[in-house]
Structure 1
């Protein structure tokens, strides 16, 4: 079964071919579905019904990307992709698999060093997006390799120049600097493509959870806000962002009831399985060299400052800094989503819990920095209404109208929803706030004034 098709554009005319793809599956209906999804994309599509047929086609034709099913008679998907990696390393490899095929997926990652795996049933838009990003990654890698080859060639030519040819040396040095700048730009594009890819992949992880309990995007936003607020170095910020996107990766093989249960209510056997997920996530990423540091952050993000965490019972500053930051972000978001305790914990109570455990679960210094950032800039995860502003007392203005009740740290109601703020009320709130214990600060939800088009929460 060797079928080739070129996707037409919406007007019915053929587009310029941007890539050649090989689709491998022993089921005709899967191949037809893939061709249907990609019919409008600028790809030349070739199909094969087995691993042996796919390898025969690749001997005669050059393919940019291969999508293979995991389970096929004879040669399975991971074996096929491992063979392609050895014989045709330039070809992007993607595995099509089901949730139950975790062993095949791990094998494909470790042996075939696949770019991505896609779970069946797939989302058509996500599949098209993944393929576009994979081919963009491939183009970036090809440019990088070409620039490296050019740099090596120019270095050889530079060594052959006579020391007396100073003018030529200066000219060549200028050319090399321009090439090095281009190479740096290519590396930056490649690093950014990894960050973007991990964030897209995190949306697939979220598919295992209900729509109102998907923490990854919020955890990513929170660590980015922390990195910006405290001006972390670029490499740590990048690795921390990717770790935030993939910290749940080790949970993909879990049954649904374990995936959605609050960690505080797990049975003994479930807790043993739960404690393995940081290591499982690390193992899935270790084959990818650019994600080694990210994998280390994920492995240790459930360690505790007092040394009673998992998996290695690290204590204090033996825990990597990125892992200490990620633990705070994960706990802050998952407490509010009801993924740690049986009930959802309001934002202000989540802040109090972090304060209470700042020298047992968390690095006290980093916890203080985290809470400073949360109070100053981090939004309430439950706040989704664009017509409501989230403000502290310093940004209140007379005439604003409360959208929610305001409570003191003691739980006493201070102001009712619908209350119109006056200068006197704002001054009183500021005075009350100064008298609150532990430096508690008020968070007020107010309706956005009609004329206010620039203020942001």
Structure 2
């Protein structure tokens, strides 16, 4: 009888999709048709738990709002009974209480909103299952390392050569474990950036900040050669610095912090601590959470929550505050008036030594000039003057806008005496105070020195 060769069976991860709307389940089933997954469907939390009691499930994706048992409660049950199963929340609306419950009780891995983009959904599932595989591999390697150590103890007395061989194998295992753990930490960075979209969903596009702050922090880390660990922690902190604001009202989310009422201001001062509390349960996030906790401390010790002063404030927190304030000043989330990039940097420079690390400010301005094309302040030939300091012959370095946004003068305009007088009169009429960015030609500079 001819001997048959054994066949290799490829494991297909089991996905359980839970939604009380069959149309949603059918859409997801069509999307996943042809993917290397075994897909199971449930129309309620109770049915989902029955399925899981009969067979192991790798990943559960549940709708947030369902009758009888909502998604947060279902995911909390699954976390208690099947902690190794990945949990993902799918929802079509922003519900801070459900999100916080899912984070705290369900320990969800990811969050995705309806309607979803098919490519993003497939990418998210691949990344989630890759993370699960990496974590299982890490645990397997930990167990294997422990087993090898026990074996090593038995052989140590008489088998020196065997010990040497086993030591080499253990080193290889440790290296593999390090690689697996590094991959896990990189997965967390990706996850935090996706999760940061939660905060953005609560704000109109003109008020969103997280993506710009992440990119600015990354540019700083790259230009200054920060090590991988510090760069990773700063990136995660930039992505989730405002997660503690998710429970705020829409009005409070978009109101400049300087205009908040007294009761809201106390709640505002609590958001760094709330953000840290949400993230401290995740071990790879602990260092980033500490940066978030202290990013509203001030150099002179007047910040919050702990009134830390100068060098006592972690470096990453000092850098994060500069990046956050630079972007939020331009979004109108700190002061009522939205600033342009140069005005925001003038504000930051003005408060160096009070709000910001004075040695870090000028370095930060240079990074902004590298990152943004519309920053002129880093040019040493550019001066920031009031209207009464202007003289004929100076050249506007950037557009001049009134407080209401109306364009007054274009960049490149050469000032004359009559124009300067008109600007002074218009400023007085509007009750405004303009900061004028100008370049001073050498001949004008010389004349000023002679008259000065």
The TM-score bracket by the shorter chain reads 0.7 to 0.9
CA shift, 1:393, in A, is 7.0
Tell me how large the CA RMSD over aligned residues is: 3.1
1:346 to 2:340 alignment = yes
Larger radius of gyration between Structure 1 and Structure 2: 2
CA shift, 1:352, in A, is 1.9
Measure the CA separation in 2 of the matches of 1:280 and 1:84: 25
Contact 1:17 1:44 in 2 (8 A): no
1:335 paired residue among 309, 324, 329: 329
Measure the CA separation in 2 of the matches of 1:64 and 1:333: 40
1:154 to 2:136 alignment = no
Measure the CA separation in 1 of the matches of 2:167 and 2:275: 45
CA spacing shift, 1:31–1:17, aligned 2, 3 Å: farther
SS at match of 1:305: coil
Measure the CA separation in 1 of the matches of 2:71 and 2:201: 24
Contact 1:99 1:252 in 2 (8 A): no
Contact 1:393 1:430 in 2 (8 A): no
1:409 to 2:391 alignment = no
- Corresponding residue number in structure 2 for 1:227: 221
1:378 to 2:360 alignment = no
CA shift, 1:304, in A, is 1.7
Q: Per-residue CA shift, 1:139-170, capped at 9, x if unaligned?
A: 11122122212211211111111444222222
2:136 paired residue among 132, 142, 148: 142
1:28 to 2:10 alignment = no
CA shift, 1:74, in A, is 3.3
Contact 1:95 1:116 in 2 (8 A): yes
- Corresponding residue number in structure 2 for 1:441: none
Measure the CA separation in 1 of the matches of 2:38 and 2:344: 52
Gaps of 5+ in 1: 1-15, 384-389, 395-405, 420-428, 437-457
Measure the CA separation in 1 of the matches of 2:281 and 2:114: 23
1:118 paired residue among 82, 97, 112: 112
- Corresponding residue number in structure 2 for 1:133: 127
CA shift, 1:106, in A, is 1.8
Measure the CA separation in 2 of the matches of 1:29 and 1:276: 41
SS at match of 1:109: helix
CA shift, 1:392, in A, is 7.7
Measure the CA separation in 2 of the matches of 1:323 and 1:57: 46
Measure the CA separation in 1 of the matches of 2:100 and 2:254: 23
CA shift, 1:294, in A, is 1.6
CA spacing shift, 1:100–1:193, aligned 2, 3 Å: closer
CA spacing shift, 1:312–1:34, aligned 2, 3 Å: farther
Measure the CA separation in 1 of the matches of 2:396 and 2:311: 41
- Corresponding residue number in structure 2 for 1:58: 52
Measure the CA separation in 2 of the matches of 1:213 and 1:37: 33
CA shift, 1:83, in A, is 2.4
CA shift, 1:250, in A, is 1.9
1:242 to 2:236 alignment = yes
Measure the CA separation in 1 of the matches of 2:325 and 2:88: 33
Contact 1:113 1:288 in 2 (8 A): no
SS at match of 1:54: helix
SS at match of 2:16: strand
CA spacing shift, 1:143–1:105, aligned 2, 3 Å: same
CA shift, 1:277, in A, is 2.5
Measure the CA separation in 1 of the matches of 2:346 and 2:412: 27
CA spacing shift, 1:323–1:418, aligned 2, 3 Å: closer
Q: Per-residue CA shift, 1:159-188, capped at 9, x if unaligned?
A: 111444222222222211111111111111
SS at match of 1:112: coil
- Corresponding residue number in structure 2 for 1:387: none
Measure the CA separation in 2 of the matches of 1:392 and 1:219: 19
SS at match of 1:304: coil
CA spacing shift, 1:122–1:342, aligned 2, 3 Å: same
CA shift, 1:337, in A, is 3.1
Measure the CA separation in 1 of the matches of 2:122 and 2:262: 42
TM-score w.r.t. structure 1 length? 0.76
Which runs of structure 2 are paired with 1:363-442 in the superposition (5 Å)?
363-375=357-369, 377-380=370-373, 408-410=383-385, 412-413=394-395
Measure the CA separation in 2 of the matches of 1:128 and 1:393: 46
SS at match of 1:46: strand
1:196 paired residue among 190, 193, 197: 190
Which runs of structure 2 are paired with 1:200-211 in the superposition (5 Å)?
200-211=194-205
Measure the CA separation in 2 of the matches of 1:318 and 1:356: 22
CA shift, 1:264, in A, is 3.1
Measure the CA separation in 2 of the matches of 1:256 and 1:126: 27
SS at match of 2:203: coil
Contact 1:285 1:295 in 2 (8 A): yes
Measure the CA separation in 2 of the matches of 1:120 and 1:274: 29
- Corresponding residue number in structure 2 for 1:283: 277
